A = this chain, B = another copy of it.
Amino acid sequence: MPAEYTTMQDHTEGVRTGVAIVGLGGAVATTAVAGVEQLKLGTIGTAGLPLAHRTDLMPYDSMVFGGWDLDSSNLAKAAHLHRVLEPVQIEAVAEPLQRIEPWPAVVDPAYCRNATGENVVAAGPLRERIAHIRADLQRFRREHELDSVVVVNLASTEAWPDLTAPVLADIDAFEEGLDRDEPMITPGMIYTYAAVIEGCPFVNFTPSLGPDVPALLSLAEREGVPVAGKDGKTGQTMIKTVLAPAFRSRALTVDGWYSTNILGNRDGQILDNPSSLASKLDTKGSVLDSILGYGVEDHIVRIDYYRPRGDAKEAWDNIDLVGFMGQRMQLKVDFLCRDSILAAPLVLELVRLVAEARRRGEGGAQEQLGYFFKKPLTRDGRLPEHALHAQERALLDWLDGDR
């Protein structure tokens, strides 16, 4: 069994890191916050936390949580609603969770139809919205006497604008776009821009656009602020990037790969919206061909909202393989997983890692964090590595300074 979480306390030494989450009231965020509170109490172990043994990274219990949400309910109430954790698990940390209430969020119904709520910043010019977010971050830092702040996007998936729009191509065009309230600029970009200007590392755990837009990527590089993304690799795609390298290794030709997902949480409901779904499917699609080195014509990925499953996602895959002498085989995988349970600990590790990158003075795209993402950010136009074991190797090499 993995070791318990005991030895990290002595690393805190007064360093306090703020974690400002876009979508703070959501299932992943509330699970992450409840988890950190339970780690402080010593009531849970470190299962699910890949880097729990790395005492050279900031300890989990130095994190102070805040952030934005369309719903102003405190996190205890929000956590109960999501039914990710058992009531008794929430009750054990109810006091600290109740103290956290989301700040009003910047939203744009043009990019996320289904996401509505009462706790929103009144629509205004883009520059005003940015000022609003920056003021939130400054106040957060000041009130909690934080040494630094990391921003994490966990909000519902947004639709994508035209990716070839000139306004997204470089930072000057983007600045002009902000001045004239260009409709191609999405909330995800606004949050990224505000965070980078405030010197806060930014993690995009969603399929929405943000630091991966050329304009913002170059801004992050210029400002020396680490950015990471995108779309957390938790369930089916994670398994896909584990199996596909093995098929390649054994020279088993993938003749077809059919993936279907059924999920019943808010994430699933959003994806019933075709344009949000398109964003999601895009990040899932290219992984396979990239690993195998050839195009799989019959690679189908389905996501269906299916209420009875709640947060407990089910991913069913069928893979058609061709082996020696053209003989056919099939492999089927049924993953009865828990979306937020898989995602929350990865979010916590990403916070620790971008904080470390910031400490090392390494700004721009954090390519070594590809291990966590379906569509990893890269530098210099490199194609991303998708095989999980190779991504893990790259991450550990970076941690150990062998970069």
Q: Which positions in A face B, CB cutoff 8 Å? A: 1-2, 31, 34-35, 38, 44-50, 52, 84-85, 87-89, 238-239, 242-243, 245-246, 249-253, 255-256, 258, 260, 262, 294, 297-298, 300, 302, 304, 306-309, 314, 316, 318, 320, 322-327, 329-338, 341-342, 344-345, 387-390, 392
Q: Which residues of B contact A52 (CB under 8 A)?
A: 251
- Provide the bound-state CA to CA distance between A233 and B242, in Å: 17
- Provide the bound-state CA to CA distance between A388 and B252, in Å: 15
Q: Which residues of B contact A246 (CB under 8 A)?
A: 238-239, 242, 388-389
Given the interface pairs A239-B246, A246-B242, A324-B342, the reply to whether A304 lies near B258 with Cβ below 8 Å is: yes
Give chain B nearest CB distance to A380 CB in angstroms: 25
Q: Which residues of B contact A258 (CB under 8 A)?
A: 262, 304, 306
Given the interface pairs A258-B306, A306-B300, A331-B333, the reply to whether A47 lies near B320 with Cβ below 8 Å is: no
- Provide the bound-state CA to CA distance between A308 and B44, in Å: 19
Give chain B nearest CB distance to A98 CB in angstroms: 18
Q: Which residues of B contact A2 (CB under 8 A)?
A: 251, 253, 294
Question: Are B318 and A329 touching (Cβ within 8 A)?
Answer: no
Q: Which residues of B contact A329 (CB under 8 A)?
A: 335-338, 341-342
Q: Which residues of B contact A330 (CB under 8 A)?
A: 335-336
- Provide the bound-state CA to CA distance between A337 and B314, in Å: 17
5 pairs from A and B in contact (CB 8 Å cutoff):
A31-B325, A258-B262, A258-B306, A302-B304, A324-B341
- Please name the residue on chain B nearest to A320 by beta carbon: B308
